[in-house]
Amino acid sequence: MTATAPPRPAAPASPPSPPSPGRRVAGRLLRWWRQLTAMRTALILLFLLAVAAIPGSLLPQRSLSQSDVAGYLAEYPTLGPWLDRLYLFDVFSSPWFAAIYLLLFISLIGCVVPRAIEHGRSLFTPPPTAPRHLQRLPESAALTTSLAGPAALDVVEEELRVRRFRVVRREGRSGPEASAEKGYLRETGNVLFHLSLLALLLGLAGGKLWGYEGSILVTEGQGFCNAFQQYDTHRSGPLVDGEDLSRLCVDLEDFEAEYEENLTAASYTADINWELDGADPVGTTIGVNDPLRVGGDRVYVTGHGFSPVFSITRPDGQTFTDLSAPFLPADLGTMLSQGVLKVPDLGAGSTEQLAIEGFLAPTGVLEAGFLTSINPRPLDPKVGIDVYTGYLGLDSGLPQSVYALDREQIDRGLLNRVARTNLAVGESTTLPDGTVVTFSGLKEFAALQVSHDPGQVWVLGASIAVLVGLLGMLLVRRERVFARSDPAPDGGGTVLSIGSLTRGSADTGPRFTSLTEDVQAALAARADAPASTPAARGHGPAPDEEAPPS
């Protein structure tokens, strides 16, 4: 006997080598990309975008009304600056809103584009083969007929095509079968909805990149031209410079505000003259919801207020008339307003400057010695003013508000108050140096906003497409119907099995019942038809025609 050597033990398998740092980074980035482009993530980001837009509708925005933001900051001196640091007065141009917007944009691209490509391929893919057990589908039925299997499937095909199904006949594993499908517009509507949402975001982004807007307060009899240096506040996209602005000029001829019985504003209308590219002026009337549309720009009326008019007479006889400045409303209910008129030049030979600061009451009354207003309409205008003389600091190189004095000049003694008084229209006050300040009258101003948004038409079309896609998703059902013919157990006739699968509707019973009843009636009619008729044979002449000779 030959001795056999014991088998050698197998060498231990070497542990798999760890992935390289590059593959680990690539794998982590791929996981992050799949999470970002998941539909769940897109829905979460869309919800966050809607929530982030809420402060923009609850708080005043600088892009719409600089005066409303200033009034809010004055009313809430503690809370207002914190809200301003969080960009809650510039919600739609804030970094955090842009971050949500950009992430949603990327998520939709990664989610919708592959889905649209897959749906495009499915449009040219025939319906799937019938499942082996049709009776396991949510709706199923078995019909017995004396017709042969192919003839029974012909009846089913005719009924399905009448109902606008796409039908495919094939020889399946369990016998002849028919597969039918309709409702592709449901998925088309789904894809259209998300693609349109993506187009909507593109339109909004294009409007931000190539759009601009500016706000300015214009007193009656004055005007402005479309230039950034003339606006009180302006915003422009990163791809816009001064040369891209249209050459539009607007003059405010008259402004009228109408009020309800409870003294709330009912409407604002402004009569303006406008000219574009140096053409002849054109007169028109605009309102809050009726802007001027010209040259791709829109001119809106966003608010109104009053500009008190003063005249100044110097001791040497020099007179300065029609001096006015907008006073911003501090109380929208009564239009009690505050502001300042700065007069840096008092004529030749004078080195002093003058400022008039105070309150304007359209319908003024004195309550406990203080001036207030009881009506927003200018029924009895009065002003409560402080007159300052000295150095205003306008040429110091430091920015300052046109609606308030530089308090530092007052604290340093460079600007001194020389008079405090209440004046009605036509009344005057005389300063210590003999200068006479007269409250001459009242003008109204309009808060105008010029907006240019090249993506506006694109956004409108995308919004309509979003609604169309949403209707397709809600109204169209995705249905599949399968039919298979099997020989009857007794050897005579055919057993026709029909099953249905519907997505997007829970009430499918009546529709399937109607289909099976129509198929049963058509089978009976086909089986009872005379053998000589075309319905029974599928070919040959009609009963009243003579057969051709053989």
Q: How do residues 407-446 score in pLDDT, each as one tens digit?
A: 888 888 889 999 999 999 999 999 998 999 999 999 999 9
Rounded Cα distance between 372 and 387, Å, is 19
Confidence category of residue 12, pLDDT binned at 50, 70, 90: low
State residue 194's pLDDT score. Answer: 85
**Which of 281-314 are b and which e, b meaning 16 or more Cβ less than 10 Å from the residue's Cβ?**
eeeeebeeeebbebeebbbbbbbbbbbbbbbbbb
Q: Tens digits of per-residue pLDDT, 313-333? A: 998 888 999 999 999 998 888
Outline where DSSP puts E strands in 314-430.
Answer: 319-324, 328-331, 336-343, 353-361, 364-367, 370-373, 382-390, 415-424, 428-430
State residue 541's pLDDT score. Answer: 39
Confidence category of residue 5, pLDDT binned at 50, 70, 90: low
Percent of the chain with pLDDT over 90: 30
Rounded Cα distance between 140 and 132, Å, is 13
Q: Tens digits of per-residue pLDDT, 99-154? A: 998 898 888 888 888 888 888 888 888 888 888 888 888 888 988 888 888 898 99
5 or 429, which is more confident? 429
How is the chain split into domains, by residue range?
Answer: 29-117, 134-183+477-530, 212-237+246-452
Rounded Cα distance between 363 and 361, Å, is 5
Closest CA to 217 of 56, 120, 328: 328
Q: Enter the DSSP assignment of 92.
A: G
Confidence category of residue 545, pLDDT binned at 50, 70, 90: very low
- 371, pLDDT greater than 80: yes
Q: Which of 22-26, 424-428, 447-451 has the lowest mean pLDDT?
A: 22-26
The model scores a pTM over 0.85: no
- 525, pLDDT greater than 60: yes
CATH number, domain 134-183+477-530, options 3.30.565.10, 3.30.160.110, 3.30.70.1140, 3.90.1410.10: 3.30.160.110
Averaged confidence pLDDT in the chain: 85
65 or 433, which is more confident? 433
- 64, pLDDT greater than 50: yes
Q: Which of 8-17, 85-94, 136-145 has the lowest mean pLDDT?
A: 8-17
State residue 14's pLDDT score. Answer: 63
State residue 430's pLDDT score. Answer: 93
Say how many C-beta atoms besides its own lie within 10 A of residue 426's C-beta. 9
State residue 325's pLDDT score. Answer: 92
Mean pLDDT on 437-460: 91
Lateral strand order in the sheet of 265-276 = 223-225, 248-259, 265-276, 282-287
- 549, pLDDT greater than 70: no
State residue 418's pLDDT score. Answer: 92
State residue 2's pLDDT score. Answer: 54
State residue 422's pLDDT score. Answer: 93
Length of the chain: 550
99 or 21, which is more confident? 99
- 536, pLDDT greater than 60: no
Q: Tens digits of per-residue pLDDT, 147-181? A: 888 898 999 999 999 999 999 998 888 788 999 99
Q: Enter the DSSP assignment of 228.
A: G
- 268, pLDDT greater than 90: no
State residue 229's pLDDT score. Answer: 80
Percent of the chain with pLDDT over 70: 92
Say how many C-beta atoms besides its own lie within 10 A of residue 222's C-beta. 16
- 96, pLDDT greater than 60: yes
State residue 169's pLDDT score. Answer: 92
- 349, pLDDT greater than 80: no
Mean pLDDT on 356-370: 90
- 17, pLDDT greater than 60: yes
Mean pLDDT on 385-408: 86
At 424, which amino acid appears? A
113 or 311, which is more confident? 311
